[in-house]
Every structure is written in C-alpha cells, then in structure tokens.
Copies of this chain bind each other. A is one copy, B any other.
Amino acid sequence: MNKSTLQKIHNLIKPYIHRTPVLTSKLLNDICEAEVFFKCENFQKMGAFKMRGGVNAILNLTEEQKSKGVVTHSSGNFAQALSLAAKTLNVKAYIVMPKNAPQVKKDAVKAYGGVIIECDSSTKARETEAARIQKEKGVTFIHPSNQDHVIYGQGTAAIELLEDYHDLEYIFTPVGGGGLLAGTILAANHFSNGCKVIAGEPKEVDDAYRSLISGNIEKNETSNTIADGLRTHLGDRNFPIIKEHVEKIIRVEEDDIIKAMKLIWERMKIIVEPSAAVAFAAVLKEKTDIKNKKIGVILSGGNVDLSNLSFK
C-alpha cells in the first residue's frame, strides 16, 4: 500500500461519503492541556466511519460480483454501513444478524435496504450462516474489519483529518475489530510527518492490548463493556499493521468511557456513541505525556439508542 493508491481510494469513495467536519472545544483543550481536533464521524452517513469501508469494499468488486450482491455478519454499525453503501451503489446486501439483536438495529438495516437473515447469536452461528448465504446466492462476503479494502476505506477519515491539520503529532482511535486503527495507521504513515497513532480500548475487552504483548491475535472471554462496537477481536489482515506501527494501546475503565462521553455531549453538544468516547477517554488518561501537543481524535460514530435514556 502506497500513498497514491490510498489517495485514489479516497477520491473514489468521496462522492458517496460526507467529508465530516473537524470540531474543537476551548474547554476540552483546557482540560486536556493540549490542542484536540475531533474528526466527527458521528456526522458521517449512517452515523459512523464504517460507511467509508463499506463503500470502498463494494466499489472494488467486479461488475459480476456487484450484480450478485454482498453479505456480512454484524449487529452493529457495519450492518447499516454495508446496507446503505450497497443501496447507494445499486447492489443487493444480505446482513446476517443474531435473532436477539435489538429491534432498533434491525429497523435501521431494513431502512437502509439491507435484507436481514436471522441466526443464533454465537460467532460460529453467524459465520456459518454467512458462509451458507455466500455459497447459496453466489454473493461476496465483506468482513466488517478484516479485509484490505475495508481497512483502506476506514483510513480515509484520517487522511481528511491530516489534510485539514497536517501537523498533528498524535491521532487517537478506538480499537475493536482493528479496521479503523489499521486504516488510520496507513493514513498517518503516508499523509503525515511522523504522526503517531494511539488506540483506546475498553479494559473489559482488552484483546488488542493483550495481542500486542503476546504477538498473537487474542480473544475476549467476556463482552462486558458499554462500548458495544469494540467487543470483537483483531484479524489477520489488520493485526500485522497494528503490531508493527501502533504507538501504544491504552486501556480505559468503563467509568472513564462514560465520563469522556459525558464531557463530549455536554461541552461539544454533539452525540457520540460509547465506542467513540473510548478514544477521548484514552486522551484524558494519557494527558501528562501529550501535554501541549496537537492531537487528532476520531469520533468514530454517534449511533446511540436514546430509548435507553430518560426520553420515554
């Protein structure tokens, strides 16, 4: 992967994504004792950066593949992203989701035109069902985070951020499946002057942190975090990039995630999901080491189920 290829990918997907704004807050700068630039992927189409990778994956299919369609398994943002990307590009999308996925997520996928295939909630059941659909319908499987064109697409958020602020010294992202983190690393390597990439990860699902130590892809025994987008583990396409280049992975407690999210909601008046707040929680935890630096933070998404709040 080189700079001009990444640039071409960015140009290719531009017509189908928003160039999201970068926001700053004097008050949050004061709290961090640094200059923080928030890349607002919560304002991205369907509410998360995943639209970028979904679009890029589909654009890189052959015409024959496009005519048959795509399939993924996800109950989160990638389900919506692939549905909307496919609809935008006139491709059929099958989304394998666990039967017990929240109705609000099923509704969102349907609204974006995805065809839902329900299965049991185990990872095994999802993979089996996706493989069955793939075989039966001749469609192409698109992995939510562990596929080159998905990774490259996710990296375009950081490309834009670095175009706007070329002298950033650090970019913070959350890490779940590893697509955003690996893509951001590629972007920083090719579009910055030595900008380092740091990831935030919930301590409750610290598989990526442990993977860096062991050198192998570790998994999580539990999934007990409010950051529901970060429960998955890394994959063989993104782990090598992360292992080689990530500056560090900072683990954050659940209370830190909630505190970071509340700060962003209250002070910036924007809605970010818990997974997005993990990156900012890591900034707050790393405070002393990044004092007075210029820092980018990828606010990865803004899809929160408000019916869990006191709106009802």
Contacts and interface: CB of A to CB of B under 8 A. Distances in A.
A15 B37 CA distance: 22
Contacts of A265: 271, 306
Interface in A36-71: 42-43, 47
Chain A contact patch, size range: 20 to 34
B258 A311 contact: yes
Contact of A309 (B21, B47, B270, B310): B310
Contacts of A306: 262, 265-266
Interface string A258-286: 10011001100111100000000000000
A302 interface: yes
A308 interface: yes
* Total identical chains: 2
A275 to B, nearest CB: 14
A8 B261 CA distance: 40
Interface string A214-231: 000000000000000000
Contacts of A43: 269
A152 B43 CA distance: 33
Contact of A271 (B21, B47, B271, B310): B271
Contacts of A308: 310
Nearest to A40: B269
Nearest to A263: B306
Given A262-B306, A310-B308, A310-B309, A269 B271 contact: yes
Contacts of A42: 269
Nearest to A273: B269
A43 B266 CA distance: 11
Contacts of A258: 311
Residue with the highest number of chain B CB atoms closer than 10 Å, among A42, A262, A311: A311
A310 B258 CA distance: 10
Interface in A83-123: none
Contact of A270 (B47, B266, B269): B269
The 10 A-B residue pairs with the shortest CB-CB distance in the complex, in nearest-first order = A269-B302, A269-B271, A42-B269, A309-B309, A309-B310, A262-B311, A270-B270, A266-B306, A262-B306, A265-B271
Given A21-B21, A269-B272, 12 more contacts: A42-B269, A43-B269, A262-B306, A262-B311, A265-B306, A266-B304, A269-B270, A270-B270, A270-B271, A271-B271, A308-B310, A309-B310
